[in-house]
């Protein structure tokens, strides 16, 4: 007798997600997706620039994000929006280090440092960061060595060029194959440096060297990246594709950001990076419930 087929088997062509991420002091089960709250202490970030500058404002933002259900806080001191001016490392440190020190004293949640500079990342780790979120995917040779040496966890994001030039590098023959292949190169370089696979999360880089339409494809086909065997992080919050394709100004992009988060979680993203914590927390918990619901047959 043949055993009955399950009613809702996973689509055969989609590899299984990796729902475990190792941080230095804990292991996260990502079937309940984790929420990374953005805390940009910059004057010029495209959405929250200028809002959380100063220790009091950054602390209030962190407190509120944690109350609303954030699982980790991502501290950034340099905007990576297309064409943003570069910030020197002294200035970036001046922005992020006091905030990291304060948040590390106050809270026990993991803190990540959003930087592409090894000198900033090193001081940030000393100040309490346990994750390096590098939009260049450890392009700087010292960054990978730093992550390997210190034992922190890392987010490797896909991008081409630099934030200043990335929108000149949006030509793909096969978007998903090329993003997957380029992320795999970054992943393999990190593994060769001795960074354990379990500590690495991968990110397709929504808005980084992508056309607006590419970002929709990345969200729809995100599941393809599970073949790389790492948890996936997605950051689509309030990004400009929602304006270019649908006409929404940054302050009117909440629902579009939620739609993107839902698509990402349905496709198996384990971490979602957002500005709007409360609404996204509610949204992703329900979305993950739908994603993992199993059918019940009686009688």
Contacting residues toward ligand HH2, per CB under 6 A: 38, 40, 42, 45-47, 76, 79-81, 114, 133, 135, 155, 157, 203, 206, 233, 235, 273
Q: Which residue has the tokens 């060297």?
A: 209
Q: Which of 34, 61, 123, 239 is catalytic?
A: 239
What DSSP line would sit under the chain, residue for residue?
-PPPPPSSPPPTTSPPP--EEEETTEEEETTS-EEEEEEE--S--TTTTTTS-SHHHHHHHHHHHHHTT-SEEEEESS--STTPPP--HHHHHHHHHHHHHHHHHH--S-EEEE-S-HHHHHHHHHTT--EEEETTSS-SHHHHHHHHHHT-EEEEE--SS-TTTGGG----SSHHHHHHHHHHHHHHHHHHTT--GGGEEEE--TTSS--HHHHHHHHHTGGGGGGG-S-BEE--TT-THHHHHH---GGG-HHHHHHHHHHHHHTT-SEEEES-HHHHHHHHHHHHHHHT-------
Whole-number minimum distance, CB 8 to ligand HH2, in Å?
30
Q: How far is the CB of 20 from ligand HH2 (least distance, A)?
A: 18
Q: Is 239 known to be catalytic?
A: yes
Which one of 273, 281, 282, 296 is the catalytic residue? Answer: 273
For ligand HH2, the nearest residue by Cβ is: 235
CA–CA separation, 232 and 218 (whole Å): 12
Bridging pattern class, strands 153-157 and 200-203: parallel
Rounded to 10 degrees, the C-alpha dihedral 23/156/181/169 comes to 170
Minimum CB separation of residue 248 from ligand HH2 in Å reads 15
Q: CB-based contacts of 198: which residues, under 8 Å, 6+ apart?
A: 20, 21, 22, 27
Q: Which is nearer to ligand HH2, 11 or 185 (CB)?
A: 185
Nearer to ligand HH2, 206 or 269 (CB): 206
Q: Is 244 considered catalytic here?
A: no
Q: Closest approach of Cβ 209 to ligand HH2, in Å?
A: 12
CB of 197 to ligand HH2, least distance (A): 18
* Closest to ligand HH2 by CB, 97 or 155: 155
CA separation for the pair 124, 127 (Å, rounded):
5
Question: Minimal distance in Å, beta carbon 5 to ligand HH2?
Answer: 38
- What positions carry a catalytic annotation? 239, 273
């Amino acid at each position: 007798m043949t055993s009955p087929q399950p009613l809702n088997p996973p689509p055969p062509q989609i590899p299984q997600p990796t729902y475990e991420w190792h941080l230095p002091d804990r292991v996260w089960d990502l079937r309940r997706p984790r929420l990374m709250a953005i805390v940009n202490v910059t004057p010029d970030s495209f959405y929250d620039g200028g809002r959380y500058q100063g220790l009091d404002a950054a602390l209030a933002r962190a407190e509120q994000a944690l109350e609303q259900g954030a699982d980790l806080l991502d501290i950034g001191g340099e905007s990576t929006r297309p064409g943003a001016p570069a910030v020197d490392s002294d200035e970036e440190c001046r922005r992020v280090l006091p905030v990291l020190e304060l948040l590390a004293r106050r809270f026990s949640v993991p803190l990540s440092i959003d930087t592409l500079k090894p000198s900033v990342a090193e001081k940030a780790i000393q100040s309490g960061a346990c994750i390096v979120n590098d939009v260049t995917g450890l392009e700087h040779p010292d960054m990978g060595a730093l992550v390997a040496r210190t034992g922190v966890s890392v987010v490797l994001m896909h991008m081409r060029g630099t934030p200043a030039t990335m929108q000149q590098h949006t030509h793909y023959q096969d978007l998903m194959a090329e993003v997957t292949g380029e992320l795999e190169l970054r992943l393999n370089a990190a593994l060769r440096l001795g960074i354990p696979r379990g500590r690495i999360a991968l990110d397709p880089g929504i808005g980084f060297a992508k056309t607006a339409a590419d970002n929709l494809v990345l969200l729809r086909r995100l599941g393809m990246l599970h073949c790389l065997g790492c948890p996936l992080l997605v950051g689509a919050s309030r990004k400009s594709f929602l304006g270019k394709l649908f006409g929404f100004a940054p302050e009117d992009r909440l629902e579009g950001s939620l739609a993107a988060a839902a698509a990402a979680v349905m496709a198996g993203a384990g971490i979602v990076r957002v500005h709007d914590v409360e609404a996204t927390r509610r949204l992703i918990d329900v979305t993950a419930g739908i994603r993992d619901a199993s059918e019940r047959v009686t009688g």
